[in-house]
């Protein structure tokens, strides 16, 4: 097993994913409009989204993640009330991860864009396994049929996630999430206004 270093663009917020291996990471690309809106709202769509509007995500148990510096820069937003909590670095707006709203679910969806850029694609493939899953391809910006045929989809990702969450729960990792303390989020989420959401959902004509 190995570690994956996390680093925001400016280097203020850093962390590490411990005990990383293909057996403990569910890796895929999500093309949903919410993930696209998250990246656009933070003005990091050019860094986060691929040419089809996909966000590469590494899913694992929350107990594997630790922030080692700059945790005071950890911020959170929700696209709408009750939606996924989407975490980012307030210092430079780097998107970091997604979680559910409850601490008892040991789930983290780490964005590929938050991984230290000194890690090569080959190194990440070896540690986290290949990126073979494609979900919500109907929201892709183009060629969604081609994407849907390029690899397993939502069912495969869900089954892999359930396996990871079950293992994380048995190991008590839901009690060691860096995003929650005593069952409550470590910071209050900013819920986007209707105007902010509409702007984030707007796809550039280019």
Give DSSP secondary structure letters for 106-151. --EEEEGGGB-TTS-HHHHHHHH----EEE-GGG-SS-HHHHHTTS
User: 3-class DSSP state for residue 200?
Assistant: helix
State residue 170's pLDDT score.
Answer: 60
Residue 172 falls within a domain, yes or no? yes
Query: CA-to-CA distance for 92 and 75, rounded, in angstroms?
Result: 11
State residue 173's pLDDT score.
Answer: 64
Residue 95 falls within a domain, yes or no? yes
Residue 197 falls within a domain, yes or no? yes
Cβ atoms 192, 77 nearer than 8 A: yes
Q: How many residues are given for the chain?
A: 206
Relative to beta strand 190-191, strand 74-78 is parallel
Cβ atoms 64, 21 nearer than 8 A: no
Residue 22 falls within a domain, yes or no? yes
| Residue position matching structure tokens 């860096």 | 178
State the DSSP H helix or E strand holding residue 67, giving kind and residue range, or none if neither. strand 65-69
Residue 206 falls within a domain, yes or no? no
Question: Which residue range(s) make up the domain with 79?
Answer: 2-201
Residues 6+ apart with CB under 8 A from 11: none
What pLDDT digit, counting tens, does each position of 128-174 carry? 999 988 888 889 998 766 666 555 555 556 666 666 666 656 666 66
What is the domain-level CATH number for residue 122? 2.170.150.70
Q: What CA–CA distances, in Å, run from 198 to 36, 43, 45, 152? A: 12, 14, 15, 31
Intervals of the chain under pLDDT 70: 1, 144-175, 204-206
Residue 147 falls within a domain, yes or no? yes
User: How many domains, in total, are found in the chain?
Assistant: 1
Residue 121 falls within a domain, yes or no? yes
Residue 85 falls within a domain, yes or no? yes
State residue 206's pLDDT score.
Answer: 45
pTM (2 decimals)? 0.88
State residue 11's pLDDT score.
Answer: 96
């Amino acid at each position: 097993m190995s570690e994956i270093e996390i680093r925001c663009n400016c280097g203020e917020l850093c962390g590490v994913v411990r005990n990383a291996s293909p057996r403990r990471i569910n890796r895929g690309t999500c093309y949903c409009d919410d993930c696209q809106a998250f990246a656009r709202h933070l003005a990091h769509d050019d860094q986060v989204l691929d040419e089809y509007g996909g966000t590469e995500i590494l899913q694992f148990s929350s107990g594997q993640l630790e922030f080692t510096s700059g945790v005071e820069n950890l911020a959170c937003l929700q696209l709408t009330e009750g939606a996924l909590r989407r975490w980012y670095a307030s210092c430079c707006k780097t998107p970091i991860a997604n979680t559910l709203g409850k601490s008892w679910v040991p789930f983290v969806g780490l964005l590929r864009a938050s991984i230290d850029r000194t890690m090569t694609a080959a190194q990440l493939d070896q540690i986290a396994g290949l990126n073979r899953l494609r979900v919500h391809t109907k929201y892709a910006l183009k060629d969604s049929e081609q994407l849907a045929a390029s690899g397993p989809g939502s069912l495969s990702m869900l089954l892999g996630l359930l396996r990871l969450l079950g293992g994380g729960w048995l190991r008590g990792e839901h009690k060691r999430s860096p995003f929650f303390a005593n069952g409550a989020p470590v910071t209050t989420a900013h819920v986007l206004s209707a105007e902010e959401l509409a702007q984030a959902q707007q796809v550039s004509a280019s």
